[in-house]
Amino acid sequence: MNTIEAIKKRKCIRGFLEKPVSRKDIVRLLDIARMAPSSHNMQPWEVAVVTGEALEKLKNALLDALHNRAHRHFDYNYMAKELPNHLKANGDTCNQIVFEYRGIDPKNWSQLAPHLEENLKFFDAPAELVIMTESGIGEGAFIDIGAFSQSLYLAALDLGLGTCPQVSVSQYADITHSVLNIPENKLILFGIALGYPDESAFLNKMPRMPRMPVDKFTIFFE
């Protein structure tokens, strides 16, 4: 598989086999991803690898937060309340595709809750990677961590692994800090569910999300 094929093939995996990912393979994956570029080679990414009992403890704490309707707490401003119309439309389309595919009425809590629970259980992935950075170093670090993350997604694909980036761990950042004993000077940015894809899983057959054509996001200056 060449790079272009990998980029086009990559998708979010929401169903995993009951097969653990070895520490050796996770280290190999991170060893590849660390070659991503970063400003002044600062390499601002940090990763907490959560598996086994620690993973179950984190899942249960996040599920309790959901069931108790706990206030969501991010370490950073994840998304503005008011978005430009075209970005809001993209997000609305995404939600519509997911809810229609799953037959969910998002206004019906009894239907919506199981959907949210699956996210907080990391779709039963055997590993969750919590992506972090130092607090107070500037938003430029987010650019570098984006490059690191894309490198990780593509390397995972080449190693036969599936990934799904999620805000599950960051929307309840206070809980994630507490459960994993992560210092407060670390920003919890997002999580990545990691495991071997279950190609027969219903959620893995969901239609791919549409992408804007190039002329919608590109300006040429000559």
pLDDT for 220 beyond 90: yes
Report pLDDT for 194. Answer: 98
Report pLDDT for 1. Answer: 80
Instruction: Give domain limits for the chain.
Output: 3-79+121-206
Report pLDDT for 95. Answer: 95
**Average of per-residue pLDDT across 183-198:** 98
Sheet holding 127-134: strands in order across? 46-50, 127-134, 186-195, 162-166
Please write the tens of the pLDDT for every residue from 71-103.
Answer: 999 999 999 999 999 999 999 999 999 999 999
pLDDT for 142 beyond 90: yes
Question: What is the DSSP-derived secondary structure letter of residue 20?
Answer: P
Report pLDDT for 36. Answer: 98
By CB neighbour count within 10 A (0-12 exposed, 13-18 middle, 19+ buried), where does 89 fall? exposed
The answer as to CATH 3.40.50.720 being correct for domain 3-79+121-206 is: no
Where helices occur in 38-186 by DSSP H, the ranges are: 52-67, 85-102, 109-120, 140-158, 168-171, 173-180
Question: How far apart are the C-alpha atoms of 133 and 131, rounded to whole Å?
Answer: 7
pLDDT for 70 beyond 90: yes
Q: Give the mean pLDDT of the chain.
A: 96
pLDDT for 203 beyond 90: yes
Percentage of the chain lying above the pLDDT 70 cut: 100
Give the amino acid at 207: P
**Average of per-residue pLDDT across 124-137:** 98
* Model confidence, pTM: 0.96
Please write the tens of the pLDDT for every residue from 15-54.
Answer: 999 999 999 999 999 999 999 999 999 999 999 999 999 9
